Amino acid sequence: MTGFPPIDPPPRVLLGPGPSAVPASVLRALGLPTVGHLDRYFLEIGDQVGALLREVFETKNELTLPISGTGSAGMEAVLANLLEPGDRALIGVHGVFGTRMAEVARRCGAEVVEVTGDWGRALAAEDFRKAAQGRGMKLVCAVHAETSTGVLQPLEPLREVADELGALFVVDAVTSLGGLSVAVDARRLDAVYSGTQKCLSCPPGLAPLTFSPAAAAALARRRTPVQSWYLDLTLVTRYWGSERLYHHTAPINMIYGLHEALRLVHEEGLEARFRRHRLHAAALWAGLEALGLALLVPAAERLPTLTTVRIPEGVDDLKARNLLLDEFGVEIGGGLGPLKGKAWRIGLMGASADRRNVNACLCALRAALAAQRYPAPDPIPAADAVYGAG
């Protein structure tokens, strides 16, 4: 080999569990001239990102910022900063990311009490009470939008449980922030983290998070240093706050991209954005059912941003997804854990949530099913009926 040609990624319709499509203006922002991470201009951009994040989180929390790293870094930052060895955490586990929260909490030295449930169903407040057995907790943790199953977890009843147990309420909003209301202040959520690559439609690489005053006070009362120096918010906030004290080199161009992605959210308006996600999800569901496909999650517990579809008996998962990718350029996700080979995950997040993508996905799935001799009626009229009614 004499050299390496410039990269030239193939065009893809990103309808998997993430990343989502990135708008052209966000891509342009990523390519703007890099300045220093202590440059006055960049610090102003950082302040604006904080204000825009407060808007999308629906909070007035002062401690609201983007962590350098993906959504899992946000998870680790929240748990590492709020948990000390011996603390007790009550964690909802009914999918991959609840399982991951429990693992991270254990690595922080916490005593983890798992609230387990069926993959594909939301957890009830009574499940948390039963698992707690009346014991006090430092944290109650839940995944708002479980990416592995497509379940939307009701949060208000769990806030009540956290109050009963004297706990802070921690929420994973990786697949909900920017696609449906998180309402941090109205729901009295104490610590929430997300990722940029889902409903915000920015490339992966940053993890927005927010701490309530109660969570910030708990951080200030720590008896031991935060186990992760890089994710220690007592240090990181001194850079993002008024001191501007160097901690690590911020990912400047990723912050540019996030700024533009959040500006687009602001321009669209939260309520309009939430309506858009609900509309296209409803059209997708109607089309999938017209194809004869069963959805894993009951309608009342179903995420509008990510839909989990049961793979019909006799249909090969990988063959179908490869056909979608190779012939139509459409990416959807496979199942995780016990759903591996048994389900597809279809994301309609951020810029990916539009009518053209819904129709492209339904038509490509119809072709993939037909290629495996599975009878698949035309799904478009069912989707069109939803759009006509909406």
- One domain, residues 182 and 285: no
Q: What is the DSSP letter of 121?
A: S
- One domain, residues 95 and 235: yes
- One domain, residues 333 and 283: yes
* Domain of residue 353, CATH code: 3.90.1150.10
- One domain, residues 277 and 370: yes
Percentage of the chain with pLDDT > 90?
97
Q: Name the average pLDDT for the chain.
A: 97
Cα-flanking dihedrals φ and ψ of residue 168, to 5°? Answer: -80, 150
What's the domain count of the chain?
A: 2
Residue 122 lies in a domain: yes
- One domain, residues 289 and 157: no
Residue 11 lies in a domain: no
Residue 150 lies in a domain: yes
- One domain, residues 210 and 187: yes
- One domain, residues 317 and 243: no
- How many Å apart are CA 119 and CA 151, to the nearest integer? 8
Q: Which domain holds residue 373?
A: 271-389
Check if the beta carbon of residue 390 is closer than 8 Å to that of residue 282.
yes
- Count of other CB atoms within 10 angstroms of residue 238: 15
pTM over 0.75: yes
Cα-flanking dihedrals φ and ψ of residue 209, to 5°? Answer: -145, 160
- One domain, residues 203 and 62: yes
Cα separation values, 381 from 291, 362, 386, Å: 11, 11, 9
- One domain, residues 182 and 317: no
Residue 16 lies in a domain: no
- One domain, residues 204 and 328: no
> Which ranges constitute the DSSP H helices of the chain?
24-30, 40-57, 71-82, 96-107, 125-132, 156-165, 213-220, 233-240, 252-268, 270-290, 317-323, 355-371, 380-389
Residue 14 lies in a domain: no
| Reduced DSSP (H G I as helix, E B as strand, rest coil) percent helix, strand, coil of the chain, to 5 | 45, 15, 40
Where is the domain boundary, 220, 239, 267? 267
Give yes or no for residue 1 having a pLDDT over 60: no
- How many Å apart are CA 325 and CA 24, to the nearest integer? 22
Residue 188 lies in a domain: yes
Where is the domain boundary, 219, 238, 267? 267
- One domain, residues 177 and 313: no
Question: What is the longest distance spanned by two Cα atoms in the chain?
Answer: 68
pLDDT digits (tens, 9 = 90+) for 309-345: 999 999 999 999 999 999 999 999 999 999 999 999 9
pLDDT digits (tens, 9 = 90+) for 109-136: 999 999 999 999 999 999 999 999 999 9
